[in-house]
Amino acid sequence: MQYTKEGSLALLPDPQSKIIAAIPAYNEARHIEEIVSKTLHYVGQVIVVDDGSEDGTGERARGLAPQ
């Protein structure tokens, strides 16, 4: 990403890459992929905290992790 400060141009890493979102989830298997995908537009990393879901939310969230 490029930033201009006092007329100079510098290339800096994306400032969002240091931001982590923690998303608590309970029985959100149907929605977790969309939520994580949309959240990644704003942050560099997402942590899904599964609160004991019985619908496979945790498994689906783990499946979204990069290999």
Give me the average pLDDT of each 10-residue run along the chain (67 residues): 41 64 96 94 90 95 87
Question: Which pLDDT does position 41 carry in this prediction?
Answer: 87
Cα 40 to its chain centre, rounded Å, is 4
Instruction: State how far the Cα of 5 lies from the Cα of 32, in Å rounded to an integer.
Output: 39
DSSP string of the chain, one letter each residue: -EEEETTEEEE---GGGG-EEEEEESS-TTTHHHHHHHHTTT-SEEEEEE-S-SSSHHHHHHHTS--
Per-domain residue ranges of the chain:
14-63
